[in-house]
Structure 1
Amino acid sequence: MNDEWKKDRVGAAQRGENPMVLARMPSGYACIGDTQFLPGYCVLNSDSRADHLSDLPLKERTQFLIDMSVLGEAIMQACAPLRVNYSIYGNTDHYVHAHVTPRYAWEDDSAVKLPHWRYPLDSWSRPDLAYSDAQHGELRERIRAALVELMAANPS
């Protein structure tokens, strides 16, 4: 797969070229994570080109946070983790996006108490942990289906 779309994930989603998109949400695009060392890891990319959450007008900011929580609920339904963590950083990618990360009972005690980005660096780049349709397609579909159902039941 050509990775050119990664240079502009939001633009690629708007053009229908981002293969990680699960669903269009009112504030942006719910995407399955490039890596799946924590199965069900997703990212919500804002449709806005704002750099910071506080740059969004209050109504758009509120919608983004609601969408983030709905994505988390879909992950809870599809993956049955112990909990879901939500984080907004913006240190590397300078556009509003939120990491929605399931956490599991099978995680090592030292890892579960830390943010997901503190996992060993190779967790983010190991080919066997990278998203693939063959390995994660069923999981992706469960999350997508739960997300679509939740959005239909609770229109914004």
Structure 2
Amino acid sequence: MCANDYSADDIGWGLLLHRGEVANAYLWRSGRLRGYCVLIYLGAPHVAEPTDLSDADAYWRDTLGLGRALTAFYKPVKLNVSTLGNVVPHLHSHICPRYASDTDPAPGGPLPWDVLDNGRQDEAQLLADAAALRELLEAA
């Protein structure tokens, strides 16, 4: 994760939505959950844990700003915010809208990794969603 070119608007895995105070927000291509985003910390020095941040408030402002935009656009029942780093020890958070039980891939339970990792989003829908989310994030 540290070696990626975060100056690009498309990092392969996802489309840039917003350059925040200390983190970039991306709408993820992988998986089968519409609105799945990843927020990646870009500050220096490298950190793996939010507890290592000298200014944790900036990271959480970026996280909450993305969450507000996702809530306004997708109207989810709930947002899951996961800051894990078990596989990739670089501070990043997965923000996953959760929907009504008839449309959620794992109603009432945790999202299985294959829902987030296997398959790809429809590219036309992804591009349209990214444009709408960028407007919301820029207006905030």
TM-score tier, shorter chain, comes to 0.7 to 0.9
TM-score (normalised: structure 1): 0.75
Paired residues, what number? 135
Q: Would the aligned equivalents of 1:10 and 1:47 in 2 still touch at CA under 8 Å?
A: no
RMSD: 2.3
1:37 shift after superposition: 1.7
For residues 28 and 67 of structure 1, the distance between their equivalents in structure 2, rounded to whole angstroms, comes to 7
Query: Gapped runs of 5+ residues in structure 1?
Result: 1-7, 151-156
- The runs of 4+ residues in structure 1 deviating greater than 6 Å are none
- What is the percentage of aligned positions where both structures have the same residue? 24
Ranked by relative contact order (alpha carbons within 8 Å, sequence separation 6 or more), the top structure is 2
- Higher share of residues assigned helix: 1
TM-score (normalised: structure 2): 0.83
Are 1:50 and 2:61 an aligned pair? no
For residues 144 and 17 of structure 1, the distance between their equivalents in structure 2, rounded to whole angstroms, comes to 14
Are 1:12 and 2:2 an aligned pair? no
For residue 145 of structure 1, what is the aligned residue in structure 2?
Answer: 135
For residue 98 of structure 2, what is the aligned residue in structure 1?
Answer: 103
Select which of 37, 57, 62 maps to 1:62: 57
For residue 21 of structure 1, what is the aligned residue in structure 2?
Answer: 16
1:107 shift after superposition: 3.5
Report the 3-state secondary structure (helix = DSSP H, G, I; strand = E; otherwise coil) of the residue aligned with 1:98: strand
- C-alpha change, 1:83 and 1:16, in structure 2 (3 Å) is closer
Q: Would the aligned equivalents of 2:34 and 2:121 in 1 still touch at CA under 8 Å?
A: no
